[in-house]
Every structure is written in structure tokens, then in C-alpha cells.
């Protein structure tokens, strides 16, 4: 009998189960779905039919449902907006950075079953679990309840259209676009750090016309490059905005 089964199936007064019910706002009908939504692949869990399970399949469902609910919300909230605006705003709301922040604030990783130490997980795990929970709610309770959950936990507390309008979602794309416009040569140099840390780290250097403009370090090449681009943007913002 695994830990998740103990938490969800056999102890209704367990604080972790109560925490999940508080998060959802209702008592789940199909506990198995939430078990899967909170299970990491490192456990090598299998269902009664021998199929491996973890949160990734429910993450796929949650991503699709979340995109649809956000699209409907924006369509109603900004009736004068065109397709391009709506698409850009939806991308900002469901961006990995935004979902990671929400998932982190909801402390979903504390409910996750894994054979790895929590320190081994990157920021994306928080957003992945959030999408998996959305997928579980949809399959367990249907669209209306899932839509209400998304409004309660994502839209109402975390979506401010006026603030999002001015939010830059990708400094890397912005820097690349500016360099192309100015006909400047841009390239990133990214190397894996050789350290004793359990979690891998990478250092990115952003060069423009062979001159290092910014450096950054993070837990993936993509994150390190984005962070370096952000620093380059702030160093060059007067030129970029002119």
C-alpha cells in the first residue's frame, strides 16, 4: 500500500487530504485521478491494468482545458479586442512562468509523491502539477466545476489584464527581434557548470557583435538564456525603446 493511497483513500481526516479538499473546494469523486495528478514519474507507479501513471497525462488534459477557459474569459472580458490581442494575452496568462508561480503559491509540490528529493525539482514542476490538477478536476467533475476552479484559483487572484498588457513574456525574443531590426550579430554561449551541486546549473553569456552584454546562471539552458536576455534588456532598454 503506497503513501498516496494512505493519504487519499483510507484516512479522511489526514491533513494532506483535507488540504487538497480545501484547495479544490469540494470532495473529489474519483480519488484515483488526483493520485495520478500528484505522482511523479520517478515512482514508476502502475494502475490496476499495469499501465504506468504519473501527472504528465493529466497535465496534457489540464493544459488544453485551461487554454479553453482562459480563451472564453478573455473573449467576454475584453469585447473590443482582436484575435491577435486575445492570443497574446492568453499566452501571458498560461505562460510557464505564470503557472509556475501560481503552482508554487498553492504548494502543490508538498502533496506530490516522488522518489526524488524536492530539491531536485525545477520551477516547472509547480506549473506541471497545477495543470495536472486542472485535468483531474475536469475529468472528475466536468467542465463547469473545472471552469469555476480555474476562476477561483487562477483567474480571480492572479489575472490582471491591465498589468499583463505591459508584461514582457520573453526577453530573449525581444532582444533577438531588436538585434535583427538593427542588423546586429547576436549569439548565446551556454555551458554546463561543473559543480558538486545535485541539481544541474548552466551559465549563459549573451553576446552582441562579439561583446558580452550579460551573463546568467540557472537550472536549464533555456532559463539561463532567458535570464541573460532579461539582464541585457535592462542594460540596453534606453536604446531598445528609442
Judged against a pLDDT cut of 90, whether residue 152 lies above it is answered with yes
Confidence of residue 64 (pLDDT cuts 50, 70, 90): very high
Is domain 3-165 in CATH 1.10.3720.10, yes or no? no
The three three-digit cell numbers of residue 36, written as one number: 495520478
pLDDT in tens, 155-179: 999 999 988 888 787 889 889 989 9
Using the predicted structure, report yes or no on whether residue 85 has a pLDDT greater than 60. yes
Give me the percent of the chain exceeding a pLDDT of 70: 93
Under 8 Å between Cβ of 191 and 225: no
pLDDT-derived band at 6, boundaries 50, 70, 90: very low
Q: Which of 63, 140, 147, 225 is catalytic?
A: 63
- Tell me which residue of 174, 163, 155, 182 sits closest to 229, measured CA to CA: 174
Q: Where in the chain is the domain with CATH 3.30.160.20?
A: 171-241
pLDDT, residue 14, reads 58
The pLDDT-based confidence of 7 (bands split at 50, 70, 90) is very low
What fold characterizes domain 171-241? Double Stranded RNA Binding Domain (3.30.160)
Catalytic residue (one of 45, 131, 140, 225):
131
User: What 3-state DSSP class applies to 188?
Assistant: strand
Single pTM value for the model: 0.72
63 flagged as catalytic: yes
Which whole number is the average pLDDT over 55-72? 97
**Residue 200: predicted pLDDT:** 84
Contacts of 2 (CB under 8 A, 6+ apart): 43, 45, 113
Sole residue written with cell 532579461: 230
Compute the distance between CA of residue 124 and CA of residue 99 in angstroms, rounded to an integer: 8
Strands 211-218 and 186-192 turn out to be unpaired
Segment 84-109 shows an average pLDDT of 93
Contact present, 203 and 231 (Cβ < 8 Å) = no
In this prediction, residue 13 carries a pLDDT of 56
Range(s) within the chain of domains with CATH label 1.10.1520.10:
3-165
Does residue 56 have an active-site annotation?
no
Amino acid at each position: 500500500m503506497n503513501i498516496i493511497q494512505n493519504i487519499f483513500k483510507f484516512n479522511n481526516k489526514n491533513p494532506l487530504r483535507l488540504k487538497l479538499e480545501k484547495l479544490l473546494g469540494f470532495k473529489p469523486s474519483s480519488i484515483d485521478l488526483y493520485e495520478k495528478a500528484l505522482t511523479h514519474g520517478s515512482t514508476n507507479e502502475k494502475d490496476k491494468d499495469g499501465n504506468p501513471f504519473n501527472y504528465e497525462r493529466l497535465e496534457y488534459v489540464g493544459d488544453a482545458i485551461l487554454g479553453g477557459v482562459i480563451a472564453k474569459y478573455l473573449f467576454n472580458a475584453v469585447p473590443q479586442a482582436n484575435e491577435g490581442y486575445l492570443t497574446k494575452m492568453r499566452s501571458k496568462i498560461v505562460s510557464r512562468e505564470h503557472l509556475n508561480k501560481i503552482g508554487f503559491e498553492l504548494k502543490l509540490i508538498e502533496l506530490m509523491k516522488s522518489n526524488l528529493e524536492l530539491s531536485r525539482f525545477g520551477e516547472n514542476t509547480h506549473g506541471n502539477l497545477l495543470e495536472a490538477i486542472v485535468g483531474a478536476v475536469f475529468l472528475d467533475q466536468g467542465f463547469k466545476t473545472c471552469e469555476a476552479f480555474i476562476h477561483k484559483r487562477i483567474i480571480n487572484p492572479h489575472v490582471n489584464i491591465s498589468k499583463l498588457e505591459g508584461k514582457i513574456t520573453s526577453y530573449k525574443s525581444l532582444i533577438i527581434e531588436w538585434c535583427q531590426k538593427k542588423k546586429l550579430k547576436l549569439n548565446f554561449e551556454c555551458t554546463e557548470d561543473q559543480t558538486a551541486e545535485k541539481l544541474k546549473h548552466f551559465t549563459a553569456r549573451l553576446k552582441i557583435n562579439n561583446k558580452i552584454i550579460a551573463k546568467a546562471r540557472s537550472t536549464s539552458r533555456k532559463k539561463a538564456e532567458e535570464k541573460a536576455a532579461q539582464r541585457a534588456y535592462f542594460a540596453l532598454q534606453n536604446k531598445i525603446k528609442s
